[in-house]
Amino acid sequence: MEISANTQAIAYLISAILFIFALKGLTSPASARTGNYYGMAGMLIAVLATLLGGDVQSYGFIIAGVAAGALIGGVLAARVQMTAMPQLVAALHSFVGMAAVLVAVATYLNHAALGTLNSLLMAELSVGIVIGAITFSGSVIAFGKLQGIISGQPVKFKGQHLLNLLLAVVIIGFAVDFAMHETLTSLIIMTILAFLLGFLLIIPIGGADMPVIISMLNSYSGWAAAATGFTLQNNLLIIVGALVGFSGAILSYIMCVAMNRSILHVVFGGFGGDDAAAEVSAAGQAAEKGVKSASVEDAIYWMEDASKVIIVPGYGMAVAQAQHALKDFMELLEERGVEVVFAIHPVAGRMPGHMNVLLAEADIPYDNVKEMNDVNPEFATADVALVVGANDVTNPAAKTDKSSPIYGMPILDVEKAQHVYVIKRSMRPGYSGVENLLYYQDNCSLIFGDAKDVCENLANALKGGAH
Amino acid sequence: MPEILVALYIFVLSCFIGYWVIWGVTPSLHTPLVALTNAISGIIILGALLATGLQGVGNLAEIFGFFAVLLASINIFGGFLVTQRMLAMFNKKKKK
């Protein structure tokens, strides 16, 4: 069976509409699953329309590639821990980037063999290769930082931005040469330099900015697909690329607003490294005021008969896998008539919405989970705020200390609760390297220990019903 | 209108659609959003299919194409399935 070019174009249009509905479905958890099915249907239609379009003549490599990809993708999706979602996402971004490079090179080889190269095509190819290569190597670095293979500390050196700028100019130079003169050497050098640029662009960005990096690379992967669409004159690729590109761009913007930083500051920033050292000494004065440490029983004393408890989860909860223990604790509190609310900061965790997924994994109803702006007015009426592995997003220094690197960042107003208990492994500062002034407040006590153990102990103490 | 301008029209208008649709996504589903966009950016497989399946081209292009098909397929299957897994977590609580 072979379909005409017009039929194929209509199929692509239907597929594009399905993708838009897929994204639209994420407006609410209730419609999201249907949306995902729309996305799958869109993909199936697009692939079938391409295979039947007459341009594809041999299927051996294609079947092998899809089968292997399905197997690998399926295993990854089934096995990945929700804590490790950022790594999976970074890996998938890198694959899109690499695929864009490979497609562009293969397209070049095909056109060269058929003698149908022209300058416009080669210029478009160059754009695809460069964006794809930057996406790939940038995502590999992001993956390494998330996985702990590479230090999360920003790597900075003098003249870094100048070097990147220079590299970009040189890349453009080689791209122009390739487009004008069809020089293969230029194509190869350009590709290698683009890989290098992606690497250099991401290494200065600190671990605290992971949610932004993930969103940014998400955006790049979309633009890479769109660029490929221009090369192949494939409108569906252009549409989908633009949708994904904008999705990532908007997420980056939201993350930046949630940290009160501009995207340029993040990209060139190198946050959470050197500046932190100075900050610790400033906070050293606060340390003299002392920190109160509390036992599980102290915390239970205030929580068991409270009317409202707000739990603030952070990445520490994810690392300790404490979400299930927290859920048990939540249910025990609810049985006693305590209202339990989870408060989520937009940049809590290592990627946008990370905490929501972890809480969902533990079966915590999403009605109990509230976003920062909705929950902030509630802290004043809460008896207890329980901070589980969150740090920077609860630091009142963001509101009061103009010299603090996180000054101006919107935070959860944890300190307004009557009692604040913070579960922490040690006195180490958060990912930003900034000392948390919250711990020195009169109403705040720290419970030292692994988040999961402490949460289990809290639940056991309630079950015991000793009080 | 030359083809590249048509493509540009489509690109720019799609950007606007993306802008409005994405702003409607609820923040609690931002991780599934990223995973879903991972999956649909696997649409780059179309380019990979065309590069691999073209008759009478060199082996080299086919090999490049094969790896592109492989990577894009990992995105498609991995992305959709992991999105499905996450959304199932959000949904089962509704029945409570």
**Confidence band, pLDDT 50/70/90 cuts, at residue A272:** very low
pLDDT at A432: 65
- pLDDT at A277 > cutoff 50: no
Asked whether the predicted pLDDT for residue A134 surpasses 90, the reply is yes
Average pLDDT over residues A57-68: 90
Please give the average per-residue pLDDT across A45-51, as a whole number.
95
CA quadruple A290, A295, A297, A299: dihedral, nearest 10:
50
| Shortest CA gap B78–chain A (Å) | 4
Q: Which residue has the tokens 């330099």?
A: A193
pLDDT above 90 (res A53): no
A59 within domain boundaries: yes
Write out residues 152-211 of A within 8 Å (CB-CB) of B. Answer: none
Q: Is residue A274 part of a domain?
A: no
How many CB atoms within 10 Å of residue A117?
17
Range of the domain at A259: 94-268
Instruction: Note the pLDDT of residue A289.
Output: 55
- Residue A281 above 60 pLDDT? no
Q: Please report residues of B whose CB lies closer than 8 A to that of A36.
A: 36, 80, 83-84, 87
> Both A121 and A238 in a single domain?
yes
| A50 and A107 together in one domain | no
> Token pair 């051996």 is at which residue?
A60
Q: Which residues, listed in sequence order, are joined to residue A385 by a DSSP beta bridge?
A: A310, A420
Residues A285-300, mean pLDDT to the nearest whole number: 72
Residues A262 and A305 in one domain: no
Mean pLDDT across A135-140: 95
Mean per-residue pLDDT over chain B, rounded: 89
In chain A, residues 221-260 whose CB comes closer than 8 Å to chain B: 221-222, 224-226, 228-248, 250-251, 254
Interface ipTM > 0.85: yes
**Amino acid in the structure at residue A301:** Y
What are the structure tokens assigned to A141, written together?
Answer: 């670095």
B61: its two tokens: 């292009």
Give the pair of three-digit tokens for residue A200. Answer: 């250099």
pLDDT for A313: 93
Residue B95 has pLDDT above 50, yes or no: no
The CA distance from A78 to A80, in Å, is: 6
The CA distance from A71 to the nearest CA of chain B, in Å, is 8
The residues pairing with A343 across neighbouring beta strands, listed in sequence order, are: A370
Residue environment code for B56-93, b if the CB has 16+ CB neighbours within 10 A, otherwise e: ebeeebbebbbbbbbbbbbbbbbbbbbbbbbbebbeeb
Residue A87 domain-assigned? no
Highest mean pLDDT among A263-272, A355-364, B73-82: B73-82
| A184 and A242 belong to one structural domain | yes
Same structural domain, A304 and A196: no
Residue at a domain's end among A26, A52, A79 = A79
Q: Is the pLDDT of residue A183 over 90?
A: no
Q: Which tens digits make up the pLDDT trace of A379-422?
A: 999 999 999 988 888 888 888 888 877 888 899 999 899 999 99
Catalytic center residues of A = 392
Q: Which of B28, B62, B83, B91 to mutate to test the interface with A (most CBs of A within 10 A)?
A: B28
Q: Per-residue pLDDT averaged across A107-128, rounded?
A: 89
Structure confidence at residue A214 (pLDDT): 92
- Is the pLDDT confidence value at A430 over 80? no
Domain match, A254 and A114 both: yes
Residue A85 forms part of a structural domain:
no
Same domain, A262 and A116: yes
Tokens matching residue A443? 């109403």
A140/A255 same-domain check:
yes
Does residue A275 sit within a domain? Answer: no
Helix axes B45-53, A60-79, angle to 10 degrees: 150
Query: What is the domain-level CATH number for residue A390?
Result: 3.40.50.1220
Tell me: the pLDDT tens digits for A204-218?
Answer: 887 778 888 899 999
pLDDT at B39 over 90: yes
Nearest residue to A364 via CA among A29, A15, A24, A99: A29
A28/A140 same-domain check: no
Determine what percent of chain A is predicted with pLDDT higher than 70.
93
pLDDT greater than 60 at residue A236:
yes
Token pair listed for A113: 């063999």
Mean pLDDT of A331-351: 90
Q: What does the mean pLDDT of chain A come to?
A: 87
Residues A362 and A320 in one domain: yes
| Residue A368 placed within a domain | yes
Kindly list the distances between the CA atom of residue A329 and the CA atoms of A422, A457, A461, B91, in Å, as whole numbers in the listed order: 15, 9, 10, 21
Contacting residues of B for A222, CB less than 8 Å apart: 37, 41
Q: Which residues from B are below 8 Å from A237, CB to CB?
A: 43-44, 46-47
**Which of residues A268, A293, A327 is at a domain's end?**
A268
pLDDT in tens, B12-25: 999 999 999 999 99
Helix-strand-coil split of chain B, %, nearest 5: 90, 0, 10
Q: How many domains does chain A have?
A: 3
Residue A152 lies in a domain: yes
Decide if pLDDT at A7 tops 70. yes
Check whether A94 has a pLDDT greater than 80: yes
Does residue A29 sit in the same domain as residue A156? no
Average the pLDDT over A86-105 and give the result. Answer: 95
Residue whose pair of structure tokens reads 């964006």 in the numeric block: A131
A77-81, A234-238, A262-266: segment of lowest average pLDDT: A262-266
Instruction: Return the H-helix or E-strand segment holding A385.
Output: strand A384-388
Residue ending a domain, choose from A235, A268, A301: A268
What letter would DSSP give residue A427?
S
pLDDT at B54 over 80: no
What is the reported pLDDT for B16? 94
Same domain, residue pair A445 and A355: yes
The answer to whether residue A178 is domain-embedded is yes
